[in-house]
Amino acid sequence: MLDFDAAIEELAAAVRPLATEEVPLAEASARYLAQDLCARGDAPARAISAMDGYAVAEGATRPGQWLTVAHEIKAGAADPGTLSDGEVARIFTGAPLPAGADCVIMQEYAEREGSKVRFSEGYGPARHIREAGSDFRAGDNLLKRGDRLTPRAIVSASAADVATVEVHARPRIAIIATGDELAPPGSAFETPGALPESASFGVAAMAQEMGAQIVSRSRGGDNLGELTGLAGQALDTADCVVVTGGASVGDHDLARPMFGDAGLDLVFSKIAIKPGKPVWLGTSRGKMVLGLPGNPTSAMVTARLFLRPLLAAMQGGSASGQLRFLSMPLAAALPPTGSRETFVRARATADGLVPRSNQESGSQAPLAEADWLIRRPAGSPACEAGALVEALDF
pLDDT exceeds 80 at position 375 = yes
pLDDT tens across 58-71, in order? 999 999 999 999 99
Torsion of CA 363, 369, 375, 380, to 10 degrees: -70
pLDDT tens across 18-44, in order? 999 999 999 999 999 999 999 999 999
Reduced to 3 states (helix: H, G, I; strand: E, B; else coil), residue 183 is strand
CA distances from 178 to 96, 97, 258, 356 (A): 64, 67, 11, 28
pLDDT tens across 144-163, in order? 999 999 999 999 999 999 99
pLDDT exceeds 70 at position 251 = no
Model confidence band, residue 92 (pLDDT cutoffs 50, 70, 90): very high
pTM: 0.88
pLDDT tens across 187-227, in order? 888 888 899 899 999 999 999 999 999 999 999 999 999 99
Give all domains of the chain, ordered by start, each with its CATH number.
4-17+169-322 (3.40.980.10), 22-42+145-167 (no CATH), 48-130 (2.170.190.11), 326-393 (2.40.340.10)
DSSP secondary structure letter of residue 303: I
Average pLDDT, the chain: 95
Letter string b/e over residues 332-370, b meaning 16 or more CB atoms within 10 A of that residue's CB? bebeebeebbbbbbbbbeeebbbbbeebebeebebbeeb
Predicted local distance difference test score (pLDDT) of residue 183: 87
Predicted local distance difference test score (pLDDT) of residue 248: 64
